[in-house]
Chains A and B, each alone.
Chain A
Amino acid sequence: MTDPTTYLSHLELGEPDKTFLDSNELIINMGPQHPATHGVLRVILKLDGEKVLGTECVIGYLHRGVEKIAEHRTYTMFNPYVDRMDYVAAVSNGLGYCEAVEKLLNIEAPPRAKYIRVILTELNRLASHQLWLGTHALDIGAMTPLFYTFRDREEILKIFEKYCGARLTTHSFRIGGCQYETYDGFERDVKKFIDFVPPKIDEYEELLTTNRIWLERTKNVGKISVADCKALGVTGPVLRASGVKWDLRKAQPYAAYSDFDFEIPTGQNGDTYDRYMVRMEEMRQSLRILRQAVERIPEGPIMAKVPKVMKPPVGEVYHSIEAPKGELGYFIVSDGSTQPYRVRVRPPSFVNLQALDIMVRGALVADVIAVIGTLDIVLGEVDR
């Protein structure tokens, strides 16, 4: 039995002034309007000088009641809403939702649709990691990577825009497949992108990997052990950087992922630097998947036979995918009507954010910024 106080996520707040005068302890607020919190996250920090004694996260500023909305929309109508959760990786959200409903309906997307899904999802994973890298480096004090990553991310957004007209919240998948056939030159654009981006990733690495300031700010910062990761349900690159070779794309393949060769990068120390290295390598592995997918993309229909009015049989299903931030799951309960009885979203950011406290306890205030960045949270998904 774990001692429940090991992962205490709340602070016993006394009178701050009194505490301050008595023992030099200080309680300060970070956020909710703080550029380094990546949205509207409020963290209450209990400090002893520069040292963090404990934190408490206050979330919910972006709560829109997505799960409640789902119960009042049809399965199809709810589809665009999921894009607004993790808005920097909207394609992954859509993939998870569509596959969950397909499972409930007991249908399967045709092979071509699955390949298009993999291509767009991996492009989005790259875009998400690039945005993460840019903002994370900016938080730590390196401004250049932001310009580099946004410049290259633009190429991905252009492909999305050409494919479906939207750049960020793409709503690119439908239940049963994809709505749009690829545009003329889609393969060419993706191939061009695959050739264009590897030198750029090397360029980011040149800026940071051996940069002394970067090393000082990230090595041994925000360490988390495998045991803590598992206890706290932390997934995605954070778990992998601690040394667990676990990726849902391999463990329980979905879409067409079982067709492709790729590695799961892992780290050993579980610190901010390892998480950076894991994500950098993940970008390269995404490119590997993209190259295979775009070369082998099969011909055929892009939509399965789906009833116009979807009435999944009574039952429930849980389906999860490897989103750029970790395990993104949908638990859907159907009562046999056109609207879901209950949709539960298992957001990776929400669960990963819980680990913030144990990662920063005993560290410096500046490290809190680095750790929030390295957790790669999106508040739209934390608050839903």
Chain B
Amino acid sequence: MPEETKSPAPPPGGEPAQKPPAAAAEKPVPPAKLAGPVPTPWESPLVTKLKRQYGSGVREANTYLGQDYLVLDPSITNEILQVLRDEDEFDYCVDITAVHYPKQEKQLELVWILYSFARNQRLRVKTTIADGESFPSSVPIWATANWLEREVFDMFGIKFDDHPDMKRILLPDGWKGHPLRKDYGIIQQDQEWVKINLGIESGQ
């Protein structure tokens, strides 16, 4: 789906490898490839509880490659995150990040990776929001969300409401653009910022 957003030059060796399956289209090579792992429904007391409480707000509860994840409706995500920490011992927020899918209606997918020390269990919580939408901050739930959310803002432009310090973290404050979005090119940069602050024509 994001084929054209990738760099135009195909990687070396890309062509020859694609040929064999194409040449032997009748052979069951492509199905064999598809027979890889598929997400399977994740059954657990936790999922049952959340489904009972939130109904269709829990859109998916699957396991892929032995890793559990939940896809939630954005309106209830923050509430469930709080529940996960308070009632289900997910006391360690490993990471907060995002993925940009420019072709989807709701372009940005937010991902929380959680861990429970007591259960030795990992869980991914995902939700999608539209471009330009903001999302409630998780800082009151896990203090570590502070820098992680700042990085998401820096890289994707997702604003978090009620974040104590919503500003860029890795890039300079005056920078324009959010580099990890798919519409931001790999050699793109804020030329104006570079000119003014570094006194050079281009950083390339």
Listed in ascending order, the chain A residues whose CB lies under 8 Å from chain B are 1-10, 59-60, 63, 65, 67-69, 71-74, 77, 103-104, 106, 228, 230-234, 244, 246, 251-252, 307-309, 313, 315-318, 320, 327, 329, 331, 333, 335, 337-339, 341-342, 344, 346, 350-351, 354, 383-384
1/0 per position for B3-42, CB-CB distance to A under 8 A?
Answer: 1001100110110111000000000000001101101000
Task: Find out whether the CB atom of A65 lies under 8 angstroms from the CB atom of B179.
Answer: yes
Chain-A contact segment, one of B50-58, B127-135, B140-148, B190-198: B140-148
Per the bound structure, the CA–CA distance linking A223 and B70 in Å amounts to: 36
Given contacts A246-B117, A316-B64, contact A7 B146 (CB under 8 A): yes
Task: Find out whether the CB atom of A383 lies under 8 angstroms from the CB atom of B170.
Answer: yes
How far is the CB of A333 from the nearest CB of chain B, in Å? 6
Task: Find out whether the CB atom of A338 lies under 8 angstroms from the CB atom of B11.
Answer: yes
Q: Identify which of B2, B117, B140, B186 contacts A341 (C-beta below 8 A).
A: B2
Given contacts A69-B186, A341-B99, contact A63 B37 (CB under 8 A): no
Q: Identify which of B2, B7, B91, B95 contacts A344 (C-beta below 8 A).
A: B95
Which B residues are CB-close (under 8 A) to A63?
A: 170-171
Extra A-B contacts (9), CB below 8 Å, given A10-B164, A104-B65: A59-B170, A68-B184, A252-B122, A315-B39, A316-B64, A333-B99, A338-B11, A344-B97, A354-B147
Given contacts A106-B65, A315-B65, contact A60 B179 (CB under 8 A): no
Per the bound structure, the CA–CA distance linking A3 and B147 in Å amounts to: 16
Which B residues are CB-close (under 8 A) to A351?
A: 144, 147-148
Per the bound structure, the CA–CA distance linking A135 and B128 in Å amounts to: 44
Which B residues are CB-close (under 8 A) to A71?
A: 6, 186
B139 adjacent to chain A (CB < 8 Å) = yes
Per the bound structure, the CA–CA distance linking A38 and B165 in Å amounts to: 25
Task: Find out whether the CB atom of A60 lies under 8 angstroms from the CB atom of B147.
Answer: no
How far is the CB of B98 from the nearest CB of chain A, in Å? 9
Which B residues are CB-close (under 8 A) to A9?
A: 146-147, 164-165
Task: Find out whether the CB atom of B7 lies under 8 angstroms from the CB atom of A72.
Answer: yes
How far is the CB of B193 from the nearest CB of chain A, in Å? 13
Q: Identify which of B37, B140, B179, B180 contacts A2 (C-beta below 8 A).
A: B140
Per the bound structure, the CA–CA distance linking A230 and B65 in Å amounts to: 27
Among B34, B65, B165, B186, which residue has the most Cβ atoms of chain A within 10 A? Answer: B65
Task: Find out whether the CB atom of B2 lies under 8 angstroms from the CB atom of A313.
Answer: no
Interface size class of B (residues with CB under 8 A): 35 or more
Task: Find out whether the CB atom of A346 lies under 8 angstroms from the CB atom of B113.
Answer: yes
Task: Find out whether the CB atom of B164 lies under 8 angstroms from the CB atom of A232.
Answer: no
Listed in ascending order, the chain B residues whose CB lies under 8 Å from chain A are 1-3, 6-7, 10-11, 13-14, 16-18, 33-34, 36-37, 39, 64-65, 67, 82, 91-95, 97, 99-100, 111, 113, 117, 120, 122, 124, 139-144, 146-148, 155, 162, 164-165, 168-172, 179-180, 184, 186
Task: Find out whether the CB atom of B164 lies under 8 angstroms from the CB atom of A233.
Answer: no
Task: Find out whether the CB atom of A230 lies under 8 angstroms from the CB atom of B92.
Answer: yes
How far is the CB of B103 from the nearest CB of chain A, in Å? 11
How far is the CB of A43 from the nearest CB of chain B, in Å? 14
How far is the CB of B169 from the nearest CB of chain A, in Å? 6
Task: Find out whether the CB atom of B95 lies under 8 angstroms from the CB atom of A331.
Answer: yes
Which B residues are CB-close (under 8 A) to A317?
A: 64-65, 67
Task: Find out whether the CB atom of A252 lies under 8 angstroms from the CB atom of B95.
Answer: no
Q: Identify which of B33, B139, B147 contacts A4 (C-beta below 8 A).
A: B139
Per the bound structure, the CA–CA distance linking A384 and B179 in Å amounts to: 13
Which B residues are CB-close (under 8 A) to A251?
A: 120
Task: Find out whether the CB atom of B17 lies under 8 angstroms from the CB atom of A6.
Answer: no
Q: Can you list 6 A-B pairs, Cβ within 8 angstroms, ordered by A?
A: A60-B169, A230-B91, A231-B144, A233-B142, A233-B144, A339-B6
How far is the CB of A204 from the nearest CB of chain B, in Å? 31
Nearest opposing residue in chain A for B139, CB measure: A4
Task: Find out whether the CB atom of B122 lies under 8 angstroms from the CB atom of A318.
Answer: yes
Which A residues are CB-close (under 8 A) to B99?
A: 333, 341-342
Given contacts A9-B165, A318-B124, contact A331 B111 (CB under 8 A): yes
